[in-house]
Amino acid sequence: MIRFPSLVLAAALALPTPALAQPAAQTISVWSYGFAPKPIQLAAGRPVTLTFVNRSGGGHDFTAPGFFAASRVIAGSAPNGRIKLAPHATQSITLVPAAGSYQAHCSHFMHAPMGMTDSIFVR
């Protein structure tokens, strides 16, 4: 005889993994001289894969040391709080962001004053 709790457990294990278990995805476009989306909005404590796409023929970076330091990185890396992007390059990082407001910019000479800044809001 199969007991009811065992039947419920077996049925639950047979169901596909819910979409919530998969990391969310967010593409961040990088170009001379901007980022999009502006601002970046993320859910606190929920895994997300950020994919940075450099759409320009010049190198750029996405520098947000406070954001990356407060986040738990699952895959990829952001050495010194920076994602470096060669011309037309794409790079991803999967992390769990911590609640807060953070600032980001391109650290290349004069890029931030020309508009390569962004805000990250994690709620």
Question: Going by DSSP bridges, is the β-strand pair 48-54/24-31 parallel, antiparallel, or unpaired?
Answer: parallel
Read off the pLDDT of residues 14-50 as tens digits, 9 standing for 90 and up. Answer: 555 455 568 999 999 999 999 999 999 999 999 999 9
CATH of the domain at 80: 2.60.40.420
Q: Does residue 2 surpass a pLDDT of 70?
A: no
Please give the structure tokens belonging to residue 45.
Answer: 């404590």
Q: Structural domain tally of the chain?
A: 1
Record the pTM: 0.82
Read off the pLDDT of residues 81-95 as tens digits, 9 standing for 90 and up: 999 999 999 999 999
Say if 3 falls within a structural domain. no
Task: Give domain status of residue 11, yes or no.
Answer: no
Gap between the Cα atoms of 44 and 118, Å rounded: 18
Q: Please check whether residue 10 lies inside any domain of the structure.
A: no
pLDDT for the residue numbered 5: 53
Residue 1 lies in a domain: no
Establish if 82 belongs to a structural domain: yes
Nearest CA-CA partner of 102 in 117, 85, 89: 117
Classify residue 4: in a domain, yes or no. Answer: no
- By residue range, what is the domain housing residue 42? 18-122
pLDDT, tens digit (0-9, with 9 covering 90-100), for 52-61: 999 999 999 9
In DSSP notation, 27-57 reads: EEEEETTEEESSSEEE-TTS-EEEEEEE-SS
Q: Is residue 90 part of a domain?
A: yes
Where is 92: in which H helix or E strand?
A: strand 90-96
